[in-house]
Structure 1
Amino acid sequence: MEPTNGIWKAILITVYTVVFIGGVFGAIRISFLLVKMNTLSVTTTAVINLVVVHSLFLGTVPFRLYYYTTDKWVFGQPFCKIVSAMIHVHMYLTFLFYVFVLVIRCLIFFKWKDKLEFYRNLHAVASSLAIWILAVVIALPLIHIWYGTTGHYENATCFRFHQELKNNSVKELNYAVIAVTVAVTCTLLALQVFIILKVASRLSGSLCSHQEFRAQLKSLGFVWVIILCFLPYHFFRIYYIQQYENDSRLEMYNEIWLSITAISCLDLLSFVLSGSLSWRRGSILFSCCQTTICCIATGSPAG
Structure 2
Amino acid sequence: MYIPKEIYRTMPEETTTLPNASQPNDIERYALITIYTVAFIGGTIGTIAMSFLLVKMNTLSVTTAAIVNLVVLHSLLLLTMPFRLYYYISQKWIFGFAFCKAVSAMMHIHMYLTLLFYIITLIIRWLIFFQWKDKVEFYRKLHAVAASAAVWIVAIVIVLPLFIARYGNSGEYGNTTCFTFQQELKKESVKALNYVIIAVVTAITCVFLGLQVFIILKVVKKLPGSVWSHQEFWAQIKSLMFISVIIICFLPYHLFRVYYIQHIEENQSETYNDICLSITAISCLDLLSFVISGSRFFKQKIIMLRDKLTCC
Task: Tell me the TM-score normalized by structure 1.
Answer: 0.89
Q: Equivalent residue for 1:21? A: 41
SS at match of 2:103: helix
Deviations 1:52-79 (A, max 9, x none): 0000000000000000011111111000
Q: Equivalent residue for 1:268? A: 287
Contact 1:39 1:121 in 2 (8 A): no
Aligned-residue Cα RMSD (Å) equals 2.1
Q: Pick from 179, 182, 186 the counterpart of residue 162 of structure 1.
A: 182
The structure whose Rg is larger is: 2
How many angstroms apart in 2 are the aligned matches of 1:22 and 1:58? Answer: 10
Q: Equivalent residue for 1:69? A: 89
Structure 1 residues 281 and 164, CA, compared in 2 at 3 Å: closer, same or farther? same
How many angstroms apart in 1 are the aligned matches of 2:154 and 2:82? Answer: 28
Q: What code does the residue aligned with 1:280 have?
A: K
SS at match of 2:306: coil
Q: Pick from 114, 117, 142 the counterpart of residue 122 of structure 1.
A: 142
**Does residue 215 of structure 1 match 2:235?**
yes
Q: What code does the residue aligned with 1:130 have?
A: A
Alignment of 1:270-289 (within 5 A): 270-287=289-306
The offset of 1:180, in angstroms, is 1.0
Structure 1 unmatched runs, 5+: 291-303
Structure 1 residues 211 and 196, CA, compared in 2 at 3 Å: closer, same or farther? same
**Does residue 42 of structure 1 match 2:43?**
no
Structure 1 residues 220 and 170, CA, compared in 2 at 3 Å: closer, same or farther? same
Alignment of 1:94-173 (within 5 A): 94-136=114-156, 139-140=159-160, 142-173=162-193
Deviations 1:136-173 (A, max 9, x none): 46623640454111111010100000001111011111
How many angstroms apart in 1 are the aligned matches of 2:24 and 2:37? Answer: 20
Q: Equivalent residue for 2:71? A: 51
Contact 1:105 1:116 in 2 (8 A): no
The offset of 1:234, in angstroms, is 0.3
Q: Equivalent residue for 1:299? A: none
Contact 1:185 1:226 in 2 (8 A): yes
How many angstroms apart in 2 are the aligned matches of 1:143 and 1:115? Answer: 37
SS at match of 1:82: helix
Q: Equivalent residue for 1:243? A: 263
**Does residue 205 of structure 1 match 2:225?**
yes
Q: Equivalent residue for 1:8? A: 28
Deviations 1:210-243 (A, max 9, x none): 2112111111110011011100000000000011
Contact 1:30 1:268 in 2 (8 A): yes
Structure 1 residues 18 and 79, CA, compared in 2 at 3 Å: closer, same or farther? same
How many angstroms apart in 2 are the aligned matches of 1:282 and 1:200? Answer: 20
Contact 1:41 1:116 in 2 (8 A): yes
Q: Equivalent residue for 1:297? A: none
The offset of 1:3, in angstroms, is 11
Deviations 1:87-145 (A, max 9, x none): 11111111110001001111222222221433332332222223223334662364045
The offset of 1:181, in angstroms, is 1.0
How many angstroms apart in 1 are the aligned matches of 2:139 and 2:220? Answer: 30
**Does residue 259 of structure 1 match 2:278?**
yes
Q: Pick from 221, 227, 233 the counterpart of residue 253 of structure 2.
A: 233
Structure 2 unmatched runs, 5+: 1-21
Structure 1 residues 175 and 4, CA, compared in 2 at 3 Å: closer, same or farther? closer
How many angstroms apart in 2 are the aligned matches of 1:86 and 1:134? Answer: 14
Q: What code does the residue aligned with 1:286 have?
A: L
Contact 1:244 1:250 in 2 (8 A): yes
Per mean C-alpha deviation after superposition, the further-off stretch among 112-121 and 79-88 is 112-121
Identity %: 64
Contact 2:39 2:285 in 1 (8 A): yes
How many angstroms apart in 2 are the aligned matches of 1:283 and 1:111? Answer: 29
Structure 1 residues 134 and 8, CA, compared in 2 at 3 Å: closer, same or farther? same
How many angstroms apart in 2 are the aligned matches of 1:189 and 1:154? Answer: 42
